[in-house]
Amino acid sequence: DIDAVRKVVEECNQLPVHPRHPYVGDLVHTAFSGSHQDAIRKGFSQQDPDGVWEVPYLPIDPADIGRDYEAVIRVNSQSGKGGITFLLEQEYGISLPRRMQIEFSQVVQRETDRLGLEMTAAQIYKLLETEYLQARSPYALKGHRLQEENGTTALDAEVIHDGNSLHLRGIGKGPLEALAAALPVKLEIMDYHEHAIGAGSSAKAAAYIEVRLDGERPLHGVGIDANITTASIRALFSALNRALREAETKAA
């Protein structure tokens, strides 16, 4: 536990260890540059657990000397999407699709510019929650029911729209197409991704969707739920609400 050794040294000497001191400094394994962070993230994704350590910009594995990986990537106004993606993957199991990485990095950039400070993994996840997972107005899902027959899906959804209960019914080749058909707006589904978070009985599903509302620029939504269909529907409403909010802002 090299961090415990460092603490003893600092107490005995009554002097702080320099942030760039080999092995133990706070910043010795840290990358701020967006290009460096992207290279490190890709290196981690390809690193063989039993192979020779070959992650760019990290001569040794920080875990080998008792350091954690959160300090490897620090996100500030100069960071790119690679660092943000790495922290979400490592700390929360969230794997953003590439185009959403670009979109969310702009959200993080605005926040770091506003704060003038670095952002931790917890702060980045909180921003993801605020921007995407909590985008529940004007549409919020209460429940849904599916019927499938001959490759066609009929969806009945109970939602809250501007505080009022609303029933939506649509038909399509899958739940998302059926929901899009039920909405009173022109919504085009551009892209969709999903993956599991965790494993076993406690696993959840994460769904990411990219939509275009009334021909405007594409925007993303995120949904997380124990049920993959529910997660995908939540993701669609997340994207729709963000698109409606942006359209309202433009019109103001």
* Mean pLDDT estimate for the chain: 92
Residue whose structure tokens are 């185009």? 99
pLDDT digits (tens, 9 = 90+) for 142-151: 999 999 998 8
Supply the pLDDT for residue 177: 97
Q: Please state, for a pLDDT cut of 70, what percent of the chain lies above it.
A: 100
Supply the pLDDT for residue 206: 98
Supply the pLDDT for residue 31: 83
What is the residue extent of each domain of the chain?
Answer: 31-133, 139-251
Q: Which helix (H) or strand (E) holds 142?
A: strand 139-149
Q: Which residue has the higher pLDDT, 229 or 63?
A: 229
CATH number for the region 139-251 comes to 3.30.160.270
The predicted model gives 192-210 an average pLDDT of 95
Supply the pLDDT for residue 95: 96
> How many residues does the structure list for the chain?
252
Please state whether the peptide bond connecting residue 218 to the residue before it is cis, i.e. omega within 30 degrees of 0. no
Supply the pLDDT for residue 128: 97
Supply the pLDDT for residue 252: 75
Long-range contacts of 173-182 (CB under 8 A, 24+ apart): 175/144, 175/146, 175/229, 175/232, 175/233, 176/209, 176/232, 176/233, 176/236, 177/153, 178/153, 178/154, 179/155, 179/233, 179/236, 180/236, 182/155, 182/157
pLDDT digits (tens, 9 = 90+) for 56-113: 999 999 889 888 777 788 888 777 788 899 889 988 999 999 999 999 999 999 999 8
Task: Specify the amino acid at residue 95.
Answer: S
Residue whose structure tokens are 């920080």? 62
The predicted model gives 217-236 an average pLDDT of 97
The predicted model gives 112-124 an average pLDDT of 89
